Amino acid sequence: MAGKYYHGTDFLNAKKKKGSSHVWQAILKGRTVLQLGLIKRIGDGLSTNIWKDRWIPRIPGGKPIFKSEEVTVEKVSELINDDGKSWNIQKLNSNLSPMEVNEILKIPLGRLDQDLWAWGEERHDIYIVKSAYRALAKQFRAESQHHQGVAQSSTIEENKLWKKLWNLSIPPGWAHDMASDQMLNAKPQGEGTKTKTKTYWQ
């Protein structure tokens, strides 16, 4: 299967190809769940990309949030001292944020010969269905909170608009019409929808 569907790459980066079997398509759908919890355990750091792979526990997304133009490293191995058992503090501080450095320093070195993928939702690093459900539930909650935050932000902006309008030295009826127009224009208009244009002062 590896030679047929992801020759020259790895399973996590394999793409859906034209004519793929139903089994392979199902496997790719299941991979989406795996990607929520998989994380690299660092050995020599040679196969782990600092900016693309999930490898930093307790950091959202498992990888650095921002990559500046001044960075000089790409692989985790470049952040490890020659002894392979300690982190290069100078390179960490030069390329990553203090929060990220703090979490990276908690990652033990010298225990593995090479980097390995592990299931980060369990302490024993082994995938189990129960924790996969937890990972999905966590993602669902995060997305729900995001949408609720957007809706709450919209409500706050409308309240600010009303407050500004009522403080203007114009007749209340005009303020109501202006606010109604403002909120109407902020929403997508369907085809055939007509809006009335008002002139409030000459």
Regions of the chain where pLDDT drops below 70: 1-11, 13, 121, 132, 139, 143, 146-202
Domain match, 120 and 143 both: no
Q: What is the CA radius of gyration of the chain?
A: 26
CA distance linking residue 155 with residue 145, whole number of Å: 15
Q: Which domain holds residue 155?
A: 139-185
- Is residue 156 classed as helix, strand or coil in its secondary structure? helix
Q: What is the pLDDT of residue 200?
A: 36
Of the three residues 83, 105, 127, the one that is the final residue of a domain is 127
Domain match, 96 and 178 both: no
In a domain, 6, yes or no: no
Q: What is the pLDDT of residue 54?
A: 93
How many structural domains compose the chain? Answer: 2
Domain match, 148 and 177 both: yes
Q: What is the pLDDT of residue 194?
A: 44
Q: What is the pLDDT of residue 38?
A: 85
Q: What is the pLDDT of residue 77?
A: 97
CA distance linking residue 48 with residue 41, whole number of Å: 9
In a domain, 90, yes or no: yes
- What is the DSSP secondary structure assignment for residue 148, as one 8-state letter? H
Q: What is the pLDDT of residue 201?
A: 40
Q: What is the pLDDT of residue 152?
A: 59
Domain match, 68 and 116 both: yes
